């Protein structure tokens, strides 16, 4: 799951949502430098990543790719699943996607001064370009994947994976809809468990 799914799965709490995003930006042990509810969201993000990696739908997704692209197929899955979530948003949430995204940008801005640099970059640019909302348009996926691929020491043309995705689109759509409700249940339970401990 990429940014949108992690934020949405974090539930209604603004702090949990912020933590859902920051799970991609904060590394190492959590030391109490952030509000406890944000750290709870980060912990839930990490637990979700570990859970997702074990799910049969993800394993099926990865097996569709040959080496060397298979090594990066998890990243492709994250982006494709965010696209499917954005496209099928109303199946899972009552609040419109655009409204949800604008609300989140405002929630994130409250913590702007305490965010790590990459998250500050996200905060600065996401509202201007409709970063999260842009996942709903399949035409944006090549550029999204290209930009991610350029972050590697040796750039990887992740967008080259999209023809394989298109070839299996119907199955991938079905697998996403099998997986996402399970993730909703998992994160809800994980947040409760973290808060109790």
CB-count burial class (<10 Å; 0-12, 13-18, 19+) for 63: exposed
Closest among 34, 3, 2, 32 to 116, alpha carbons compared: 34
Could you tell me which residues come within 8 angstroms of residue 58 by beta carbon, excluding any fewer than 6 positions away? 52, 74, 77, 179
Task: Locate 181 and state its tokens.
Answer: 């409700």
Helices (H), 110-168: 117-129, 141-149, 162-167
| pLDDT greater than 90 at residue 196 | no
Give the integer Cα–Cα distance in Å for 84 and 64.
18
Q: For residue range 38-68, list pLDDT tens digits in order.
A: 999 999 999 999 999 999 999 999 999 999 9
Q: How confident is the model at residue 181 (pLDDT cuts 50, 70, 90)?
A: very high
| Residue range 71-111, pLDDT digits in tens | 999 999 999 999 999 999 999 999 999 999 999 999 999 99
**pLDDT over threshold 90, residue 6:** yes
Question: Closest Cα partner for 188 from 6, 22, 9?
Answer: 9
Decide: 1 and 52 in contact? Cβ < 8 Å. yes
State which H helix or E strand residue 174 sits in: helix 169-196
């Amino acid at each position: 799951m990429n940014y949108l799914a992690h934020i949405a799965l974090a539930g209604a709490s603004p702090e949990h949502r912020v933590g859902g995003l920051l799970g991609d930006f904060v590394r190492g042990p959590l030391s109490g430098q952030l509000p406890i509810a944000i750290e709870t969201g980060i912990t839930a993000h990490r637990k979700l990543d570990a859970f997702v990696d074990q799910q049969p739908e993800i394993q099926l997704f990865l097996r569709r790719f040959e080496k060397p692209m298979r090594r990066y197929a998890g990243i492709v899955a994250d982006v494709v699943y965010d696209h499917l979530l954005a496209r099928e948003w109303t199946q899972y949430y009552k609040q419109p996607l655009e409204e949800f995204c604008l609300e989140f940008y405002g929630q994130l801005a409250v913590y702007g001064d305490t965010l790590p640099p990459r998250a500050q970059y996200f905060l600065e640019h996401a509202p201007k370009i409709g970063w999260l909302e842009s996942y709903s348009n399949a035409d944006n996926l090549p550029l999204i994947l290209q930009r991610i691929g350029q972050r590697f020491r040796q750039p990887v043309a992740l967008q080259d994976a999209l023809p394989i995705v298109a070839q299996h689109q119907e199955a991938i759509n079905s697998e996403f809809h099998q997986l996402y409700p399970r993730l909703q249940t998992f994160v809800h339970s994980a947040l409760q468990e973290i808060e109790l401990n």
